[in-house]
Structure 1
Amino acid sequence: MIKFGNLSYQQLKEKIRIDSPWDSIIIFILSLLFTIPIFIICHQNLIDIKWSLQLDRIFLFLLIIFLIHFILKKLRKLTLISVVLYFLFLIFGTVFGGYGFNSVFEDYRSMVYAMSDNPYPQDIIVSKLLPFPNKYKILNAIEYDNPKVRSFSIMATNKHFKEVKGFKNEYFTIIQCFAVFKEINSRWHYVSDPKGSDYIATATESLEYLSGDCDDHSILMAACIRSIGGTPRLIHTKGHIYPEIYIGNKTDLEAINYLIKKVLFPRETMNNSLHYHIDERGDIWLNLDYTAKFPGGPFMSEEILGALTLE
């Protein structure tokens, strides 16, 4: 006979068995708790069929909770062990910085919000892109390692969104980049180039008065974002240049969509969707143009001719 310490296997099963009706209640609650993270993983990795009212995701959720409930009922006598293991997993993730209670709540909240508020995507057709105009002048003007640029960016991160908490560590830098966006775009004054010339100001030059045209704004925005660890790029259209910021993949977009619309820019984004581009690798970039009142604001309606990424 198998023994665990002084207890036989049969005695151990009796010790951990939960009497009815509590076992059914616990099984239902546990089914729901197991379903949430599994549903999030499936939602993030399965193709979005885009059924009306998100019916495909509703059916997916119901299918997962049914299967888990069925399995747990078959393992009714091990229900207590399942409860303990589940909470030990989340406690471990919470304490040591892995997938914990806060991660489950954050992912589920972002996912549910994104399911009811789809951002507006636009693809960039790489084969149609042309050489970026004044590429090397612009790269030299993006003085991201200049102390003045760095100091301005740090000032912006201390002025805006410093108290925002409860989001994953990987969004910490993006939140700070949004603080830079808010500081620059709330103060930017458009000034045209000299007649008949294409004047390209350095980031430190534009920083003095926060003024200039679209390429000056783009250069300054890219320099400031790069100076605090963000990844910017510039988009060239016919007669216009604007900056964008790399935010990640579809999963990151759900979290950023919630972050922008419900936490950082709720007034500016009211009744508006996020606008972004998807590149050839599936990476997502948000619009940061001076015409935008929030990250991901509407694009100026012109065909994209070139893209310049600052890795």
Structure 2
Amino acid sequence: MKALKFLFLIFLVSLTAGCMDTGNLKENLFTDEVNKLLPEGMVPAGDFEAEEADLAGIGASESTPSPRIPEVPTYSEEKSGVVYPKEYRLLSLNFRRAIGSGEERIETEVCNITGKASGYNMEDACNVFNHVNRHWQYRYDKNAEFFFGASQTIDSGYTGDCDDYSIVMSALLKNMGFNTRIVTAYNESYGHAYPEIYIGNNRDTAYEILDYIAERYSSAENVWYSERVLEDGQETQYWLNFDWSGSNGYRHPGGEYFRGTCIIYYPNGLIEF
């Protein structure tokens, strides 16, 4: 299996990002062939301006049942007393405020996209991904510290930068009962932000969802996800990359990660470096 994993240490929690080769995935879902690599320096990034992507018809047919997405995970209580630097606390607060604004408008938009008011599963999450990416128009924001509320970005015609995209996607998925986190990543040339969605704390559950992505999207040669190993080593949380299609050319959830130094913002205020 061709797989790439890169490892970061976050406090005493380890975060591993990797991918699954869907050719092998479809033949042997629970293979143990997973390569873990430390990157040799920074990986050059391309130009991350969003390109218009026509996702109409993408993921229109599924040959496997859509799995449910697991419940919201718990977070390590040891982190609750940590005092973060002011700039990170402010960024975390702004993310949470923007995601939580205009909840009634967000609920209406979720219903418009999925045709449902409850009982959401991975199929619905993928439909949200398709809808947002089909309509997204990239707009560079010179004021990196100011975030529009999710409902405002939707009402403006899904126009914004990577921060706005992460906020909108997180707000829609949160309204559906799913859990997301926003990752900001920086390398020597670029900065980027992208959302991830929680897909479980055991490999069987996570791989069921990853297999669904591989089956639904014929273009998904690899499906990228992250592993968050808790400090006691007793639990691993799995997170699926939900970055936009325009930033990396992928037209499915689980596109390749933007590689750089990461800071992760959780919905409860936890920040990991």
TM-score normalised by length of structure 1: 0.52
The corresponding residue for 1:84 is: none
- Structure 1 stretches of 4+ moved >6 Å: 116-123
The corresponding residue for 1:151 is: 108
Aligned partners of 1:173 and 1:230 also within 8 Å: no
The corresponding residue for 1:285 is: 239
CA RMSD of aligned residues (A): 3.3
Which has the larger strand fraction? 2
Q: Secondary structure at the match of 2:134?
A: helix
The corresponding residue for 1:136 is: 93
> Could you say if the C-alpha distance between residues 286 and 227 of structure 1 is closer, same or farther in structure 2, counting changes exceeding 3 Å?
same
- Match runs of 1:235-246 below 5 Å: 235-238=183-186, 239-246=191-198
Question: How many residue pairs align between the two structures?
Answer: 183
Q: Deviations over 1:220-242 (max 9, x none)?
A: 10000000111111112122211
Amino acid at match of 1:157: T
Q: Percent identity?
A: 24
The corresponding residue for 1:106 is: none
Amino acid at match of 1:254: Y
The gaps in structure 1 that reach 5 residues or longer are 1-109, 160-169
Amino acid at match of 1:142: I
- Match runs of 1:81-160 below 5 Å: 112-115=27-30, 131=88, 134-143=91-100, 146-158=103-115
Aligned partners of 1:245 and 1:288 also within 8 Å: yes
Q: Secondary structure at the match of 1:114?
A: coil
Q: State the Cα distance separating 1:137 from its structure 2 match.
A: 1.5
- Match runs of 1:5-84 below 5 Å: none
> Could you say if the C-alpha distance between residues 156 and 306 of structure 1 is closer, same or farther in structure 2, counting changes exceeding 3 Å?
same
- Match runs of 1:293-308 below 5 Å: 293-308=251-266
Q: State the Cα distance separating 1:276 from its structure 2 match.
A: 0.8
Q: Deviations over 1:213-263 (max 9, x none)?
A: 11111011000000011111111212221100001121012211221111x
CA distance in 2, matches of 1:196, 1:157: 33
Larger deviation: 281-290 or 112-121? 112-121
2:181 is aligned with 1:233 = yes
Amino acid at match of 1:233: R
Aligned partner of 1:211 among 147, 156, 159: 159
Amino acid at match of 2:29: A
- Bigger-Rg structure (1/2): 1
Aligned partners of 2:241 and 2:253 also within 8 Å: yes
CA distance in 1, matches of 2:37, 2:107: 32
Q: Deviations over 1:251-294 (max 9, x none)?
A: 012211221111x222x31xx21111111331100111113421
> Could you say if the C-alpha distance between residues 122 and 184 of structure 1 is closer, same or farther in structure 2, counting changes exceeding 3 Å?
farther
Q: State the Cα distance separating 1:307 from its structure 2 match.
A: 2.9
Higher relative CO (CA 8 A, sep ≥ 6), structure 1 or 2?
Answer: 2
Q: Secondary structure at the match of 1:134?
A: helix
Amino acid at match of 2:210: N
The corresponding residue for 2:66 is: none
CA distance in 1, matches of 2:255, 2:35: 10
CA distance in 1, matches of 2:90, 2:184: 8
Q: Deviations over 1:57-83 (max 9, x none)?
A: xxxxxxxxxxxxxxxxxxxxxxxxxxx
